[in-house]
Every structure is written in structure tokens, then in C-alpha cells.
Structure 1
Amino acid sequence: MLLNTHTYYSLRMGTLPPAELVRRAKGLGYASLALTDVNNTSCALEFWNCCREAGLHPVLGVEFRRGQRCLYIGLARNLEGFRELNQLLSESSIDNKPLPDVAPPMEHAFIVYPRLVKPITDFRKEEYLGIRPEHVARLFGHELLAHRHKLVALSPVFFVDNEGFELHRLLRAIDENALLSQLPAATVCKASERLMPPEQLQTFYQSQPYLLEQAEALLAACHIQFEPGLHLNRQNFTGSVQGDFQLLEKLAHNGCERRYGHLGTGSPEYQNAQQRVRQELEAIAGQSFCPYFLITWDIVRYAAAMGYRHVGRGSGANSIVAYCLGITDVDPVELGLYFERFINPHRQSPPDFDIDFSWDERDDVTDYIFKRYGRGYTALLATYVTFQGRAVIRELGKVYGLPKAEIDAIIASPAGSARHHGLAGKVLHYGQKLEGFPNYLSIHAGGVLIAQQPLYYHTALQMMPKGFAVAHFDMHHAEALGFHKYDILSQRGLGHLKEAVGLIKQNTGRTVELQNLEQIKKDEKARALLREGQCMGCFYIESPAMRGLLSKLRCDSYIHLVAASSIIRPGVARSGMMKEYIRRFHHPYSFTYPHPVFEEHLSETFGIMVYQEDVMKIAHHFGGLGLAEGDVLRRLMSGKRTAGLGLARIREQYQANCRARGYPEELAAEVWQQMESFAGYAFCKAHSASFAVESFQSLYLKAHYPIEFMVAVINNFGGFYQAEFYFHELRRCGGELHAPCVNHSSYLTTVEGRAVYMGFVHIKGLEAEVAGRVARERAAGGPFRGLADFMSRVDAGKEQTGLLIRAGAFRFTARAKAALLWEQVAGQQAEGGGMGLFPEEERAAPVFVPDEVPPEQQQLQDAMDEMELFGFPLCPPFRLIDQRYRANSLSCAGRLREAAGRVVTLLGYYVCQKQVRTAGGKRMAFGTWLGEDGHFWDTVHFPASLGKYPFRGKGVYRVRGKVVLEFGFPTVEVLELERLPYLGPLGYPTEAGPFETNRP
């Protein structure tokens, strides 16, 4: 009899999780239940499963609302009916048109109206009028009684009790951005819209019992059956299963010739590759995964045709078929990767392909997918942005009308009730209730669905601001239904490569081919940068931790970089195996392998299971398990559920095999324990290898074309560090850095030979449109001759022109900024013509402003302007402190190794920090600094030191500490830390930096 129930996926309205709604209804004795979330179908499958587990009859539907007005409730009689409802809701969103006041004809769904929107005699056979409990009395003597067969009981459910009603009101106030005390009544449900016991409903409808009976009849007529386990992705690419296999086979063998043909068709390596291709094709066809490969190939083929670069990674990169199709550039033969890692008889889901595109090209690739595979068949996956922690406290505090200071106090000390506002208890109470509630739908990082049937059979779609429709469910609901996503991702690293190649061509006339991977991997200059850890700007390997690891390993090969990309991961580092790997690397004869199998198969990683594939190797070669079983073991150990074989069964098989092979029981147990501990955090080797390919491409560009490469990094606004340090690295690599200039700069940073001009984008407050006007006018009318010429040609306004002057964009005039600023004011006064109050001769004479300023004072003033406008000075920051601080300090940070074991004092410019917790829960930190000689160096701040000498923001610090070497890499264990004051514009020290406080 409940036709209109809601979960908390009725966003910012409903208050019940799906399982809670079902549990409550079951407890009250209901036998069937209709889910009708407001303009949402996110939890359809979850609700359906909960009902089936509880023994309730599930009915799926939608409540269609326009603003606050409920238009009608749709109930799906079957999957076709669910499609009709979802399609109506989706098309309204996709086409940006309002929902109609009257529902269109539905062949497989019931429509229940909450009010009489048209004469009852015009109701179609599937349409009904809902009578709410408070409206039953109005039926007496009403003409509607002549049409009883069109009337049903309608008792909406949004909450279960008074507390739920208050929670609903708070959600509505958050949604309306209104104070709770001023919340319009029209935006709030009635207090009676709660889950009542069936007996109470029967009391309300006792004078018209047929209303409940007819509501029950509608529910009984609705039957939806999901079939989890089916593959709902597009089932073919060419139009037939046989055609798909034939095309995939042709592409794979042609690709094999392209990838391995240089080895000679008669060589054992080529024959091995061909055999593996045939073996994989058989497995792929047996699992019906041909269309998955072909659609992925189609996506990267389009990207290649458009000139877009991509990186194919994920477990699918273990596949030689994927390598031959160009989906990935990871050679599984070279790396000894097992294809069972991505596909085996026990795996029901297709391989995982993560395809990365440049951040500015991904949307075009996504647009191609939508247009190629069709509206309604293609969608992005959703994620649910939920109410969390401090944010929900702030939202509730605003709803209750608390001032910001009171809200801050509650957040800072939730347990300190004595100091809080009287409403703090309510804020904290309802904040805890709302924690984890879905707030709104967002877009998954890159998941795309391509379905065989219209997606409307399983979900509604919502148009997002980017212009792509998103499914109402997330990846977990999608996988439970049988959808498998294509991951179309973006990253800045590929943008670096693309732009660098373009800048090199533009600046030097040379064409760089980054696909010649064998040459790039062996390039001596690139390997030297890698070995020295000089990787700033290079994808995935530029962080301080990675720089330190590469230096400790003296890493200079592709294979070792693949390993480094894996052992840097938090799980490996925390387990202590990263340190053990480095130790074994430097002392390869200091340890013994537990069994010859480890030496045979893990010698590349010194007997340590670094990769997920290593678990498979040991399970197979030591424990006698099949490779497919080894992958199942890896998935089970890492917490991933796999149908069929269970962990206990595989362990029994492993133990039996070990006994049969005569292994000591202690050895078998130790190896099992190692596999179990490694599997949880090990990295997919193909994943690491994909990253390492891109890292080597970055290294190659930086080694041979450092200026163009660093400009590309700067212009793509991506990387571990702030732009300031990429500009520093640019200068260190030989670039001549110039502040923005109206005669050279564009919106982005430009390069002319060795000269690099900062882009206008780096001037805070400068409008993009003004930057565009400057570049267009310069292209049309030639260079600007001076400020007056600029002002006559470019409509920039006083404020924007002032920013350009202060940024140094008119320094080619050789005039002081103060003089230029006065000229700007005088020029704008002159533009006013003769309409002033006084005659021209009566105007005040212009104030004399000198064009020359003492160099030291000008440098300080420029630095102050630069720090305000760019966020950092263009001169070395050490020039901005009193030079007496440099006395007795070690100025050459690049020679720290020579000071090992000594206590030294250094000046360092703050770069970044990473705070962690010790085993005892205390805070400690790692710092990274820029030294006076241009080298980066690192510090360790143990809890006692960090507590006494905390970081105090950006600036130059004096650091005193002990130099410690670990595998040849120096760090400074901090004993004292002091941030130094900058000189003011007149050369006097300031209390702190000009735009920083001394507060922690």
C-alpha cells in the first residue's frame, strides 16, 4: 500500500538509507514497497537487493518533481516500464527542457497524480489519482466517487519519526541556503509524510478501504527482475561475434609484425610473441571479451588520428594483444608479464584498461565515444559527493544562524561544550546523523559505460555542466548490475610532452619522435638525469621522496625505474620492504634466497615481491598453483571478491602441493605468509611500466631540450611543485627568465631562443580578456613603443594597466615604475578632454617623478611587487634578507655529502613539507628546501624538533642540523629552525615576509 517511499537519494530531502527503509518497513509488517526517489534512481539495485533479502516485494519508480512541485509518481510494471520512466527523466535533463505537467503515455508503467491535473474522465488506463490520508474526508459526496477505480491511497514517506522530520527540515534549509527559522513552508514536506504502521493507515482510510486495496493491486502488478552476472556492456563491435574475433585476430597479428618484425620472423623471440598472441586470442574469445578490446582500440585509434598521445595502463597492459593493438606501449615479453594477470578462466570481468589522455584532449575523446556509440547507450559513471565532517558542521551552523566564529569554535573543539553556543549540541548531533548522506551527484574520475541496450533499462541519466550525461549509479552499483567501465582518464604529464614537442619544433625547427622508445630508454643523458635524481617536471618521478629513492638506488635503467615506481608506494614503504630493497640493491650478496625458485624468478627485485605478478610467480613456480589460480589468490588476498574458488580452498591446494614437493612445513608457511602480506599492497607491474615509459619520455625531453620542456610543464599547470620552482628549474637549466612583457608575452609563457617570457596568466588579478587584447593588438599593429602608445591601442583600464606596470611589463621603456604609473594617471586625465571644471591652464602642474631609482632599492621594490603579483620573487630570495644572516652558513647545499656526520647551518628557501605520524602517534615532518647554490636539499623534523621549531609558511629559513647519509643520499636532521625577515622596500628588515605572518 506504500506507493511513494524515499531514501536519502531523494537528495537533500530523504532521510533514510535504502537498507534502513527496508528494515523499518519489514519490521512494521509491510509485504511490498515502492521506491520512488525524487528525480533519482541511484539506489534502484541496492533497494531491490535489500527487499529480496528481507522477503519484501520490491517495486521501482520515480517521483517526478519540477522545483518543489510534485508532478506525478511513476511505478514501473516491468523493466520496460522502468525504461519509460528513466527515459522521460533523462530526456528532460539531457535536452534541458522542463518535465511536462502531464506524463506522456506509458505502456508499461503506472502514473499516480497527487492532484487533479485534468478531468478524471481524461485519465488513461495507466493513470490514477492519489488520495492522501488528510484528503479522505473530502471524498464524501464528491463526484470522484463515480470513478473509484481511478483512485488509490497515496501516503508519501520521507522519514520515520520526529527526529527524522527535523533532519528533513535541516536538509531542506541547506538546499535552500536559508535559515531554519525562515524556511518557506512550501519547501518542506508535511510532518505526516512518515512511515506509519499499516494499522494506522487502515484507520485513516477506513471510510474508503478500496483506496488501500487498489494501491496494493498496483504494487502486485509490478514485477522487475534484475539478473546480476550478465555482461551488459556492448556485445559486439562489428555486428557479430565471429566478425569481432576475425577483426581482433587480424589487428593482433599485424601489430605483432609491427612490434616484433625487426627481430626477424624466424627468430625465437618473434615466434614466442606470435605464440603468445594466439594463446591470448583464444582466452579473449573464450571469455567473450573481443568487443572490449576492439572498442578500446577504436578509442585510441580516434585519438591517434587526432594527434593525441595516450598512455595505456592497468592490468590490461599485461596483454600482448593490447600491445600489438597500440592500446599500451608496455612490452609484456620484455618485462615477463603474465597475461593471466588480466584474464583467466576464473575472471568474470574484462581486463582493466586505464587510458590516459592529456587534460586538454580527454573531453574530445569522451565526446567521440558518446557520438560513436549513441545517446542513451553511453554515459559517464557517477560518484556521490556526501556530507562530511567539518563541512556538514558549517552547513548546519549557518542553517541555525550561528556566526562564523561560533562555528569555527565548534569545529576546533567539538568536545569543549562549555565554550560553545547553546545550539552547538544540536549542530553536532545532526551533523553526526548527516555524515555520509549523499549530497549531490558528481562525475567519476574517468569511468565510461557503453551498453548493449539503452541504459534507461537500469538507470536514468543526468546532464552535467561539461555536456556529458552521467548515470545515476556509481561504479559499485554498475559492477553489481553487470556493467564494466572503460576508464578514460586525464593527466597533465601528457600535456607536458605534447606542448614540449610543439615548442621544440617552433623554437629550434627540430622534430622529436617520442615513440622511439628503445632509443629513449637507452639515452645516456636521460639516464644520467635519472641516476642523479634531477627529475623536476618529469612525470611521476619528481617528488622529493622519489628524488631521494632514485638517488639512493643510483637508478639509471628502465627496469629499475619500473621497480622504483612500485616500491615508492605507501604500503611497500610502511612495510619496511622499500628500505630492504635498497639495502639488497647495494649489497646483493648480503642475503640468501629462501628457495632457488625465488632466485630464479625474483632476482630482478632481489627476492622481494614488489609486483602483484610476483605473487603469481611464487604461487605458480613454488606452490604449484596454476597461473589463473595465482591471480585468483592475489585478488582474494588483496580483498577483492572472486566467484568460484575461495581462499581456503586455494590454501589447501597450495599446502598439498608443497608437501608433495617435499618442502619443510616452516618454509611453506613462511612463503604463504609473505605472499599474503605482499598481495595487499603490491603494485601491478604493467601499471608501473606504463608510468615508467612516460617518465623516460619526460627525461629525454628534459635532457636534450630542457628550456622548452620546462616551459611546457609551466604552461600545463601540473606537477608536484608550485610554478615558482619550475621557473627556478628553468633558470637552472640555462633559460633566461624575464618578467611579463607587453612586447613579448602571451597569455601563457613563451620561449624565444633561450629567453623565456612569463605569461600574463601569472599576474594575479589580470583578466584573460585583457591579456588576449594585448597579444592581438601587438600582432596586428606591431610592438608597443611605450605606455602612451599602449594606452591608445589597448582598452585595458586603469587597474589592469597598473597591474602590467607593476609586473614590469613596460620595462623596455627604461623608465621607473613610479614614473610610468604617474604617466598613466596623467594620460587618463588628458583623455577627459576639455569638459573639466577648470580651464586647462588652471590644472595642477604634473608632479615630477624621477625615472631613475637606486638599483638596490629598485630590486627590493620589484621583488615586493613580484611577490604580491606572482606569489614569488624573480630574483633569488636570499638577496632579500640581511646579508649578515649568511655568515657562518654552509652556502653549497649540493656538497652536503661532504659534511656527513657534522652539524651545519644552512639557509634554505621553503619548498614543501610532508607531515606524518610516528609509530607512537606523534607528528614529525620531512621538509624540502632550495639552497643558495640552486640545489634542493631535504630535512627530517623529529617530534621534539617539530614541536619547538614549527614551519612558519613560505620564506627563507636558517636551518641548523646534523647531516646524515643514507645509501649516499644526504638529509639534515633539524636541531633548530628560524624563518628570517625580508628586507623592506627601503632596505630595512621587516618583522616577517611582506605577505606572510610569523604564525605557524
Structure 2
Amino acid sequence: MNHSADNTADTNIATGTPVAYAELHCVSNFSFLRGASHPQELVQQAVALGYQGLAITDECSLAGVVRAWQALQDLQQETQKDPSLAAKLENFRLIIGSEFHCDDHIFVVLVTDKKAYSELCRLITTCRRAAEKGTYLFNPGQLFDLQHCLLLWQPQQSFYAQPQQSQQPQQTQQAEFTRRLSHHFAHRLWLLAERMLDATDEWRFDRLCRFARQWQIPLTCASQVHMHIPARQPLQDCITAIRHNQTIESCRQHLFSNNERHLRSCKKLTHLYSAELMASTTAIARQCNFQLDEICYQYPTDTLPTGKRAGDYLRELTEAGCKKRFPQGESQKVRDTIEKELTLIAEKEYEHYFLTIYDIVRFARSQNILCQGRGSAANSVVCYCLEITEVNPAEVNLLFERFISAERHEPPDIDVDFESQRREEVIQYIYQKYGRERAALAATVISYRPKSALRDVASALGMDLLALEPVLANFGYRYKKETWLDELADRRVA
């Protein structure tokens, strides 16, 4: 059932009053091979539809919220040119959350404040560390560690059974779990109703409402969003087939029966949910006040000798390094630059950051492990004096503002390369120095390359990959326009 998105302000059909709605359950393409839209597309569409909030709730992950947050900042920059956009953004909230699946339950955890964000981060880390790479291991009992988060719960269907006089052991366990969850998340728990307009939609909604009345748990609603517009359904089907390593034709039992899992217009939602349920979404959104810019780096203090202040110690090391680097004495230009850099480092409170990098480089050099700083850090005289970089400021014209600027509200990048054969020694030193609970390797999210994407899509469509190889081999430079699709289609195996 397709309904066109109405970007004008929707109103309640019965009363004529504006309808307010916030989407509380939405996965992006950072839920790999599940979501069919980018976080920025979801944010832009939610704002265009007049939503008052959007929760990015990727599965056991917070990876998508950064781009969603950046998209919101970009929209706010455009408000001076578009007054109507400013009105839509005035009450809009980007909500950070994550969903967890276990035994056909869906749990959506939403962040309210910085403490709640820390709790959710710890839960995701625990679940990911307990499983192999690319998966996670979640136990509903872990929810009881959350003291500040909000919880939306969609129980498995067996929980909807009416209580019997002589309960089976499984029903007793289910009742006990529901009771504990209601008690622990008092005033922070909602049952999640999501009408997908499929064959069992009315039955599920009716049973969930009964379950809510039975346990006196409030209801809220959402759309289980996987894409920003319904036109993404073919892509949704395609990535589902890729996830199951099958063709679209052979995995129909895994495909969604319709394209309802998109950001639906408020007008359409009023036909599906009561005004009370719609209002509950914005009430929940108003409790979620956390924003990503509240996070700041907390640098380790382990490198600081007892009784010394970070600024004094950094100056001490810089002066000692300056004498070593310039045995004949530094020029006035170098001296002025050192003072300028140390002043700005102190203003930004980056002293511990520089001291940490210095400590790691000092260890590497003490073990004769080749290393050298690169990139914008080469513009810093302090980095040169600390022997992090090897660019002599007396021989080149440096632009320190490329490295640290008073206008930038983020720490500089100090990239240090270590010889590959002995890099593991440096990693183990970091673990030993700072502890395994405070040291970690940074993870990156891998994106599809064009050829890999084409191969996987072709496989999902049931095409002959061997026949496509000549086309794919020339893809990078031969096809400057979209006409390559015609050749791919011509090669499809009947």
C-alpha cells in the first residue's frame, strides 16, 4: 500500500489540530544489510515530514548517529536561507538509541542524558565483545543494568497469551520477567506497537493492546523504519537477499511483505494510531535531551609525574627538546611559535593529549622501533621538540592553524607511523601502560566499493557473474554515464 509523503503540516482529521509525531524506531544502513537509507537521508526526510524527533536505533550499534547528527547540523546552517526549515527544526530532536533482538523480542533502548549514553555504550561493548566479529550476544537480563535509559519493548508473541489458572513453567517465567522489567523500568518502559499493514497486523496490534492492559504498561507507536522513502523497497529486498546469501527469488520468506517500513506521513499515521499513541511519541522524545556535542575527550593522566601539573611538565619537556633540537639556540621566530602553541594548547586543555603521544613515541624510540609523526602535526614546533615529528621549523614555513585552531572545537590529529614488523610491541605497551579496560583499537565501518556492490547485487538478482566479469573489469573507467546498467541488464541470465 503506497501513500505519497505529504511535506505540509499534517492535521488531526477529527479536530483539525496539528499532529505531532516522533519516530522512535529506525535503523540506517549502518545496520549492515538491513537498513536501505543513509542516516542523513533519514534525518532530512523526517524534518521534511514535520516530525518532532527521530531516533536512530541501529542494531547493537551507535555507528549511524554521527552522520545523522552532522546532517542535522548542516540543516541548521541552512535555516537563514529557508525560514520554513527553521520552523521545522525548532522542536526537532535527534534521539540516540539502539535496538537489540533476542528470542523474537525487540528491545529499543533510548538515551536520555550523558549517563544513559554511557550505559548504552557499555551494553553495546559487552554484547559485541561476547561474540565473534560482526555479531553480538545479548541477554535480556543485561537490561537491568540500565538505570537512566528508556526502553521500548515488543515482546515475542507467546507473551500475549492470556494467563491460565494453572500456568505452565514457561508462562511463569514470562510473567516473572514482565514483572521485573515493569518494576525496574518504572516510568521508563513502553510497549512498542508497530502497524505494518500485513496479514497479521490487526491480530498483533489487538494482542499487544490486551497485554498492555493486563500488565498496566503504557503503549507507544513507531514504524520500524528501514528506509526514508518507499521507493527504496527494491534495494531493501536486494540487501536482504545478500544478507541471506540467496537470490531475491529464493528468499521471499525473508523479505518484507510490503514497503510500509519507511518514514510515513503524519496524515497516514493518524489513520493507524490514536491521538494518544501519537502524543506518546513526542512525550518520550522530550525526555531524550542528550546531544553528541556533550561528549569531550578525557585524556589519561598516567604520563604525569607525581606532584607536577600537566602544563608545567609539557613546557619542561618542550624546553628540553628545544635545546636538543637547536643546540646553538633557537631563533626568535621559533621561540615565539613555541609560546603561541603552548598557550593555545593550555587554552584547549590538550596537555595530556600531547603527553600521551610523547610517552608512546618515547617508548618506541627507547626500543629502537622506527616511528615518525606525519600529516598536520608536522606544522607544530612543540611536536618537533618532543621528537614526535622530524620537520625542522627553521627550514620550512609552518602553518600551526592547520594543526590546532582556536575556532576548532576538536582535538588535533597526531598521526604516528610505526614500523610494521614491530608495531605489536607498541600496542602491547599501550595495553600494559593504560590497562585493557582503557585501551582499544579503533574500528572502522567498511563501505562497499562499486565493483563489490555490483557483484553482490548481480548475485542477488540471479545474474551470471562469469558473464558479467568483462563488464565489471572495465567499470572504473569505461562507463562515464549510467548507460552501463543497460549492458548489465542485457547480460542477465534468463
Deviates more, 1:114-123 or 1:345-354: 345-354
The residue aligned with 2:293 is 227
| Secondary structure in structure 2 of the residue aligned to 1:355 | strand
| Secondary structure in structure 1 of the residue aligned to 2:23 | coil
Query: For the residues of structure 1 that align with 2:333 and 2:273, how far apart are their CA atoms?
Result: 77
Query: For the residues of structure 1 that align with 2:488 and 2:154, how far apart are their CA atoms?
Result: 45
The residue aligned with 2:372 is 311
| Secondary structure in structure 1 of the residue aligned to 2:421 | coil
Question: Given the alignment of the two structures, is residue 174 of structure 1 paired with residue 242 of structure 2, yes or no?
Answer: yes
Question: Given the alignment of the two structures, is residue 64 of structure 1 paired with residue 111 of structure 2, yes or no?
Answer: no
Q: Is this contact kept in 2: 1:113–1:127, CA < 8 A? A: yes
- Displacement after TM superposition at 1:62 (Å): 0.4
Q: Is this contact kept in 1: 2:61–2:98, CA < 8 A? A: yes
Q: Deviations over 1:173-232 (max 9, x none)?
A: 1122211112162475864323222233332234xx54434333222222113437x852
The residue aligned with 1:47 is 68
CA spacing shift, 1:285–1:201, aligned 2, 3 Å: closer
Deviates more, 1:160-169 or 1:412-421: 412-421
The residue aligned with 1:323 is 384
Name which of 86, 102, 109 aligns with 1:74. 109
The residue aligned with 1:585 is none
**Bigger share in strand:** 1
Query: For the residues of structure 1 that align with 2:412 and 2:72, how far apart are their CA atoms?
Result: 32
Name which of 35, 53, 56 aligns with 1:35. 56
Query: For the residues of structure 2 that align with 1:416 and 1:329, how far apart are their CA atoms?
Result: 48
Query: For the residues of structure 2 that align with 1:425 and 1:388, how far apart are their CA atoms?
Result: 24
Question: Given the alignment of the two structures, is residue 218 of structure 1 paired with residue 284 of structure 2, yes or no?
Answer: yes
Question: Given the alignment of the two structures, is residue 121 of structure 1 paired with residue 121 of structure 2, yes or no?
Answer: no
Name which of 24, 34, 37 aligns with 1:13. 34
Q: Is this contact kept in 1: 2:39–2:65, CA < 8 A? A: no
Question: Given the alignment of the two structures, is residue 91 of structure 1 paired with residue 160 of structure 2, yes or no?
Answer: no
**Superposition pairs for residues 820-899 of structure 1, below 5 Å?**
none
Query: For the residues of structure 2 that align with 1:365 and 1:181, how far apart are their CA atoms?
Result: 50
| Secondary structure in structure 1 of the residue aligned to 2:446 | strand
CA spacing shift, 1:274–1:392, aligned 2, 3 Å: closer
Name which of 249, 266, 269 aligns with 1:198. 266
Q: Is this contact kept in 2: 1:283–1:343, CA < 8 A? A: no
- Displacement after TM superposition at 1:250 (Å): 2.1
Q: Is this contact kept in 2: 1:235–1:291, CA < 8 A? A: yes
CA spacing shift, 1:253–1:50, aligned 2, 3 Å: closer
Question: Given the alignment of the two structures, is residue 244 of structure 1 paired with residue 283 of structure 2, yes or no?
Answer: no
Q: Is this contact kept in 1: 2:238–2:248, CA < 8 A? A: yes
- Displacement after TM superposition at 1:156 (Å): 0.8
CA spacing shift, 1:71–1:416, aligned 2, 3 Å: closer
- Displacement after TM superposition at 1:418 (Å): 7.5
The residue aligned with 1:131 is 193
- Displacement after TM superposition at 1:395 (Å): 1.1
Q: Is this contact kept in 2: 1:113–1:130, CA < 8 A? A: yes
Counterpart of 2:67 in structure 1: which amino acid? E
The residue aligned with 2:218 is 150
Counterpart of 1:205 in structure 2: which amino acid? Y
Counterpart of 2:262 in structure 1: which amino acid? R
CA spacing shift, 1:191–1:256, aligned 2, 3 Å: closer
Query: For the residues of structure 2 that align with 1:251 and 1:323, how far apart are their CA atoms?
Result: 11
Q: Is this contact kept in 2: 1:180–1:400, CA < 8 A? A: yes
Q: Is this contact kept in 2: 1:342–1:352, CA < 8 A? A: no
Q: Number of aligned pairs?
A: 415
Question: Given the alignment of the two structures, is residue 111 of structure 1 paired with residue 179 of structure 2, yes or no?
Answer: no
Question: Given the alignment of the two structures, is residue 25 of structure 1 paired with residue 91 of structure 2, yes or no?
Answer: no
Q: Is this contact kept in 2: 1:8–1:16, CA < 8 A? A: yes
Q: Is this contact kept in 2: 1:110–1:127, CA < 8 A? A: yes
Query: For the residues of structure 1 that align with 2:35 and 2:250, how far apart are their CA atoms?
Result: 20
The residue aligned with 2:322 is 256
Query: For the residues of structure 2 that align with 1:170 and 1:424, how far apart are their CA atoms?
Result: 16
Query: For the residues of structure 2 that align with 1:425 and 1:239, how far apart are their CA atoms?
Result: 70
Which of the pair has the greater relative contact order for Cα pairs under 8 Å at 6+ separation?
2
CA spacing shift, 1:350–1:225, aligned 2, 3 Å: closer
Q: Is this contact kept in 2: 1:111–1:128, CA < 8 A? A: yes
- Displacement after TM superposition at 1:297 (Å): 0.7
Query: For the residues of structure 1 that align with 2:384 and 2:71, how far apart are their CA atoms?
Result: 43
**Superposition pairs for residues 949-988 of structure 1, below 5 Å?**
none
- After TM superposition, the score normalised by the length of structure 1 is 0.38
Uncovered stretches (5+) of structure 2, i.e. residues with no partner: 1-21, 77-87, 160-173, 196-200
**Superposition pairs for residues 418-817 of structure 1, below 5 Å?**
421=489
Q: Deviations over 1:729-770 (max 9, x none)?
A: xxxxxxxxxxxxxxxxxxxxxxxxxxxxxxxxxxxxxxxxxx
CA spacing shift, 1:188–1:305, aligned 2, 3 Å: farther
- Displacement after TM superposition at 1:347 (Å): 5.8
| Secondary structure in structure 2 of the residue aligned to 1:195 | coil
Query: For the residues of structure 1 that align with 2:257 and 2:128, how far apart are their CA atoms?
Result: 24
Over the matched positions of the two proteins, sequence identity in percent amounts to 23
CA spacing shift, 1:101–1:251, aligned 2, 3 Å: same
- Displacement after TM superposition at 1:420 (Å): 5.6
Q: Is this contact kept in 2: 1:410–1:424, CA < 8 A? A: no
Query: For the residues of structure 2 that align with 1:372 and 1:4, how far apart are their CA atoms?
Result: 41
Query: For the residues of structure 1 that align with 2:279 and 2:384, how far apart are their CA atoms?
Result: 63
Query: For the residues of structure 1 that align with 2:191 and 2:49, how far apart are their CA atoms?
Result: 26
RMSD: 3.7
Query: For the residues of structure 2 that align with 1:145 and 1:340, how far apart are their CA atoms?
Result: 64
Q: Deviations over 1:706-747 (max 9, x none)?
A: xxxxxxxxxxxxxxxxxxxxxxxxxxxxxxxxxxxxxxxxxx
- Displacement after TM superposition at 1:16 (Å): 1.7
| Secondary structure in structure 2 of the residue aligned to 1:80 | helix
Q: Is this contact kept in 2: 1:136–1:205, CA < 8 A? A: no
- Displacement after TM superposition at 1:361 (Å): 2.0
Q: Is this contact kept in 2: 1:31–1:57, CA < 8 A? A: yes
Question: Given the alignment of the two structures, is residue 299 of structure 1 paired with residue 365 of structure 2, yes or no?
Answer: no
Query: For the residues of structure 2 that align with 1:2 and 1:409, how far apart are their CA atoms?
Result: 45
Uncovered stretches (5+) of structure 1, i.e. residues with no partner: 427-1000
